[in-house]
C-alpha cells in the first residue's frame, strides 16, 4: 500500500504545467535542430542509426535549453505545499525526505528516456534500428557546417549506436538527478531565488569556460553531458566516462546526505500554491 501511495504521489507531482512546458520545449528544439538531418537523409535516400541524441547534445545551445527545461520541471523543490504537511506529520520528516529524493531519481530516469524517445521519433522516417553506423553519419561528419550540431566521429569509432545511446541516457539521468538534488538540497538551506541563480550559473559554466584561460571541464557537471567533451583514447584534457559517472555519484551522495541532515531542522516558512 505504501508503494502504491508513493507511486500515486509521484504521478500527481509530475503531472503539472511544468511537465507540459518541458516536453513542448524539447519537442520544439529537437524538431528544429533535426529538420536538416531529415532533409539530408531524404536527399541521399538512406536511413541511418536511431542514436541521434548524443550528437544533438554536442550543441551548446540545445544543452542550455534542455537543462533550463529540467530546471523548470524541478523548480517546485523542495515540493512543499499544504497537502504535504499532513504527509510529514503522518510519515515523519526523514521518510518524507527519502520519498522526495526517490521522486527526483525516478523522474530523472524517466526524463532521460523520454528525451531519447522524442529525439528518435523526430527522425523516425530517416532512422533504422540496426546497431551500426551507416554512410549518412559518416558523410555528415566530414561535411562540417551541414548540420547545426556536430557529428562526433570519435564517438562513432568508439561506440555502437546502442552503446552510445545507453551512455547518453545514463549520463543524462545522472545529470538531471544532480540538478534536481542540487535544487532540492539548496532550497532546504536557502531561498529559492539564490538556488535558481546558482543552478543557472552551473548551466552556463561551459560557455564561461571559453572566456577564461584555464579548463574547468573536470569541475563543470553540465559539461559532462556533451559527448564532444568525453575522453576518447588519450585526450587527457577531457574526463573519461568512469570519471564522469563516479563524480556524479559522489556529488549525489553528498547532496543526499546534506538534504537528509537538514530535514530534521528545516523550518517551512513558505508553501507552494
Question: Whole-model pTM?
Answer: 0.88
User: What is the reported pLDDT for 271?
Assistant: 41
Segments in the chain below pLDDT 50: 1, 270-273
- Percentages helix, strand, coil for the chain (3-state, rounded to 5) are 70, 0, 25
Q: Do the beta carbons of residue 154 and residue 241 sit within 8 Å? A: no
Scored b (16 or more CB within 10 A) or e, 145-157 reads eebebbbbbebbe
User: What is the reported pLDDT for 13?
Assistant: 60
Residue 127: enclosing H or E segment and its boundaries? strand 127-128
User: What is the reported pLDDT for 134?
Assistant: 87
Q: Do the beta carbons of residue 18 and residue 75 sit within 8 Å? A: yes
Any idea where the domains of the chain sit in the sequence?
2-263
User: What is the reported pLDDT for 270?
Assistant: 45
In angstroms, the CA 181 to CA 162 distance is 28
In angstroms, the CA 19 to CA 64 distance is 17
CA-nearest of 109, 124, 138 to 31 is 124
Cell 566516462 sits at which residue?
A: 241
In angstroms, the CA 228 to CA 49 distance is 19
In angstroms, the CA 271 to CA 49 distance is 47
Amino acid at each position: 500500500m505504501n508503494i502504491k501511495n508513493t507511486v500515486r504521489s509521484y504521478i500527481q507531482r509530475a503531472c503539472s504545467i511544468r511537465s507540459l512546458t518541458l516536453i513542448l520545449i524539447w519537442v520544439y528544439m529537437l524538431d528544429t535542430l533535426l529538420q536538416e538531418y531529415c532533409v539530408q537523409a531524404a536527399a541521399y535516400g538512406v536511413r541511418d542509426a536511431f542514436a541521434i541524441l548524443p550528437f544533438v547534445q554536442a550543441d551548446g545551445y540545445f544543452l542550455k535549453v534542455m537543462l533550463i527545461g529540467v530546471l523548470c520541471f524541478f523548480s517546485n523543490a523542495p515540493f512543499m505545499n499544504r497537502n504535504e504537511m499532513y504527509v510529514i506529520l503522518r510519515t515523519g520528516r526523514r521518510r518524507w525526505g527519502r520519498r522526495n529524493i526517490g521522486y527526483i531519481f525516478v523522474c530523472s530516469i524517466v526524463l532521460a528516456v523520454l528525451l531519447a524517445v522524442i529525439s528518435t521519433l523526430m527522425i523516425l522516417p530517416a532512422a533504422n534500428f540496426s546497431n551500426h553506423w551507416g554512410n549518412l553519419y559518416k558523410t555528415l561528419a566530414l561535411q562540417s557546417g551541414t548540420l547545426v550540431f556536430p557529428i562526433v566521429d570519435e564517438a562513432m569509432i568508439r561506440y555502437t549506436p546502442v552503446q552510445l545511446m545507453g551512455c547518453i541516457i545514463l549520463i543524462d539521468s545522472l545529470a538531471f538527478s544532480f540538478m534536481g538534488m542540487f535544487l532540492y538540497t539548496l532550497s532546504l538551506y536557502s531561498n529559492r531565488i539564490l538556488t535558481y541563480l546558482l543552478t543557472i550559473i552551473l548551466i552556463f559554466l561551459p560557455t564561461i569556460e571559453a572566456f577564461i584561460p584555464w579548463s574547468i571541464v573536470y569541475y563543470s557537471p553540465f559539461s559532462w553531458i556533451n559527448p564532444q567533451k568525453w575522453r576518447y583514447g588519450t585526450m587527457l584534457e577531457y574526463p573519461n566516462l568512469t570519471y564522469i559517472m563516479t563524480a556524479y555519484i559522489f556529488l549525489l551522495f553528498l547532496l543526499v546526505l546534506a538534504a537528509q541532515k537538514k530535514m530534521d531542522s528545516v523550518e517551512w516558512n513558505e508553501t507552494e500554491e
